[in-house]
Amino acid sequence: MSTRNTPPKIGDLPSVGRPASSALLAAGIDSLAKVAACSRRELLAMHGVGPKAVRILEAALEARGLRFRD
Protein backbone atom coordinates (compact mmCIF):
# COMPACT_ATOMS: atom_id res chain seq x y z
CA MET A 1 0.00 0.00 0.00
CA SER A 2 1.40 3.38 -0.98
CA THR A 3 1.52 6.15 1.58
CA ARG A 4 2.12 8.93 -0.96
CA ASN A 5 -1.51 10.04 -0.93
CA THR A 6 -1.85 10.02 2.84
CA PRO A 7 -2.67 13.55 4.04
CA PRO A 8 -0.18 15.08 6.49
CA LYS A 9 -2.95 15.88 9.00
CA ILE A 10 -5.89 13.62 9.80
CA GLY A 11 -8.67 15.04 11.95
CA ASP A 12 -7.43 15.67 15.49
CA LEU A 13 -4.80 12.93 15.35
CA PRO A 14 -1.20 13.84 16.14
CA SER A 15 1.47 13.27 13.52
CA VAL A 16 2.47 9.61 13.74
CA GLY A 17 4.19 9.18 10.38
CA ARG A 18 2.80 8.23 7.00
CA PRO A 19 2.78 4.44 7.39
CA ALA A 20 0.86 4.64 10.67
CA SER A 21 -1.46 7.36 9.37
CA SER A 22 -2.19 5.29 6.28
CA ALA A 23 -2.98 2.23 8.40
CA LEU A 24 -5.28 4.24 10.66
CA LEU A 25 -7.14 5.70 7.69
CA ALA A 26 -7.49 2.27 6.09
CA ALA A 27 -9.11 1.08 9.33
CA GLY A 28 -11.49 4.05 9.36
CA ILE A 29 -9.76 5.73 12.30
CA ASP A 30 -9.68 9.48 11.73
CA SER A 31 -10.09 10.91 15.23
CA LEU A 32 -8.81 10.45 18.77
CA ALA A 33 -12.27 9.27 19.82
CA LYS A 34 -11.95 6.37 17.35
CA VAL A 35 -8.42 5.66 18.60
CA ALA A 36 -9.81 5.47 22.14
CA ALA A 37 -12.20 2.75 20.97
CA CYS A 38 -9.19 0.56 20.12
CA SER A 39 -6.81 -1.39 22.30
CA ARG A 40 -3.03 -1.05 22.07
CA ARG A 41 -2.91 -4.62 20.75
CA GLU A 42 -5.35 -3.80 17.93
CA LEU A 43 -3.33 -0.77 16.91
CA LEU A 44 -0.01 -2.62 17.02
CA ALA A 45 -1.52 -5.36 14.84
CA MET A 46 -1.98 -2.83 12.02
CA HIS A 47 0.81 -2.91 9.46
CA GLY A 48 2.63 0.42 9.80
CA VAL A 49 1.65 1.17 13.40
CA GLY A 50 4.52 0.57 15.79
CA PRO A 51 5.29 1.25 19.44
CA LYS A 52 6.37 4.83 18.78
CA ALA A 53 3.08 5.68 17.04
CA VAL A 54 1.14 4.09 19.89
CA ARG A 55 3.10 6.16 22.46
CA ILE A 56 2.33 9.35 20.50
CA LEU A 57 -1.35 8.44 20.28
CA GLU A 58 -1.46 7.57 23.99
CA ALA A 59 0.01 10.96 24.94
CA ALA A 60 -2.58 12.72 22.76
CA LEU A 61 -5.37 10.67 24.35
CA GLU A 62 -4.16 11.49 27.87
CA ALA A 63 -4.05 15.19 27.00
CA ARG A 64 -7.77 14.93 26.22
CA GLY A 65 -8.62 12.82 29.26
CA LEU A 66 -9.06 9.69 27.15
CA ARG A 67 -7.34 6.31 27.06
CA PHE A 68 -7.17 3.13 25.01
CA ARG A 69 -9.99 0.60 25.36
CA ASP A 70 -7.82 -2.01 27.07
Cα of 70 vs its chain's centroid, Å = 15
Per-residue model confidence as pLDDT tens for the chain (70 residues): 555 676 777 899 999 999 999 999 999 999 999 999 999 999 999 999 999 999 999 999 999 999 999 7
The confidence score (pLDDT) of residue 47 equals 96
The set of residues, in sequence order, having a beta carbon less than 8 Å from that of 18 and lying 6+ positions away, is: 3, 6
Note the pTM of the prediction, 2 decimals: 0.89
The confidence score (pLDDT) of residue 70 equals 79
Listing DSSP states for 18-68 in one string gives: HHHHHHHHHTT--SHHHHHTS-HHHHHTSTT--HHHHHHHHHHHHHTT---
